[in-house]
Structure 1
C-alpha cells in the first residue's frame, strides 16, 4: 500500500462515517444539542468539512470548495467566508442549521477534491514543510494526518450525539 492509498482509505472512512452520522435526520435533529454549550451534529459535520477543505486546499495550492463551488452561499451562514468553526462560541454553534443533503453534499465535494490531491502524492512528498509557524515546522504528512485525526474525532462526536437522539423521545416536528 502506498502512502496515497493509505490516506485515501482514511478519508474514505471519514466519508462513510459522515454519511451515517446524518442519515435520515431532520434539520431539527441535526441541530439538537445535548446542552446549551454542546456541539450539534450539523455544526460538527460542517466544521470537520470546513477544516478538511481549508487545510487540504492550502497544501494543494487550490481554492477552497466552500468559496469556489458556491457552498458558502448555499449554507448562507452569518460567518466570514474563511470561518472554519475554530473558536466558535456556543451562540455561533447554534447558527449552523442545515439539512443532511446539504451537509453531505459539501462533504462529498470536499472529499472528491481531497482524494484528487492525495492521489498525486508519493512518500517523497510527505516530508515537505507546509507550515513554519510551529516548532517543529509542520510537514505535509503531519498536516494530512492532523486533518484525518480531527475529522475522525468530530465525526465520532456526531455519532455519539446521534446515538443519544436515538435513545430519547422524538423531537417535536
Structure 2
C-alpha cells in the first residue's frame, strides 16, 4: 500500500465519522454543551476541521481553506481568522455556535479534499522531512499527519458520544 493511500484512508475515516455525527442533527444539539465548560458538537467539528486545515496547509505550503475559500467570513464567528481552537477557554469555545451542520460539513469536506490532494503527492521519503522544530525531538511530516488524524479521531468520537447522550433523553 502506498503511503498516500494510508493517509487518504485515515483522513477518509475522519470524514465518514464527521458526516455520521452531523447527519440530521438539530441546531439545538449542535450548539448545546453537555455540561459546564464542556465543548459542543459544533465546536468539536469546527476544531477538527480547523486543526486539519491549519496543519496540512502549513506542511503543503498553501493558504488555509478557511480563508482561501471564504469559510471564515461565511461562519461569521467572533474569533480571529487564525484560531483553531487549540488552547481555547470555555468562553471562547462557547463562541462557536449558530453554525449549521451543512456549513460545518461543507467546510470539513473542503478541508478533506485539500488534504487528499496533498497526501496524494507523498512518497515514503517525504515522511522524514522535519516540519516543526519547536519540539524535542523535532516533528517530522509523518508524525504531524499521524497526530492530526489521531486528534481528529478522538474529537470525532467525543462529538459522537455527545450526540448519543443528547439523543438518549
Provide TM-score, normalisation by structure 1.
Answer: 0.96
In structure 2, what is the equivalent of residue 139 of structure 1?
Answer: 140
SS at match of 1:12: helix
In structure 1, what is the equivalent of residue 15 of structure 2?
Answer: 15
The structural deviation recorded for 1:23 is 0.9
Give structure 1 stretches of 5+ with no counterpart. Answer: 169-173
Aligned residue runs from structure 1 range 20-169, under 5 A: 20-97=20-97, 98-168=99-169
Q: Which has the higher helix share?
A: 2
The structural deviation recorded for 1:137 is 0.6
For 1:164 and 1:54, the matched residues in 2 are separated by 30
For 2:81 and 2:27, the matched residues in 1 are separated by 22
For 2:36 and 2:23, the matched residues in 1 are separated by 24
Give structure 2 stretches of 5+ with no counterpart. Answer: none
For 1:100 and 1:79, the matched residues in 2 are separated by 19
Cα deviation, 1:40-86, whole Å, max 9, x if unaligned, reads: 00000000100000000000000000011000001000011000001
What's the C-alpha RMSD, in Å, of the aligned pairs? Answer: 0.6
For 1:43 and 1:93, the matched residues in 2 are separated by 6
Cα deviation, 1:3-33, whole Å, max 9, x if unaligned, reads: 1100000000000000001111122110111
SS at match of 1:130: strand
In structure 2, what is the equivalent of residue 171 of structure 1?
Answer: none
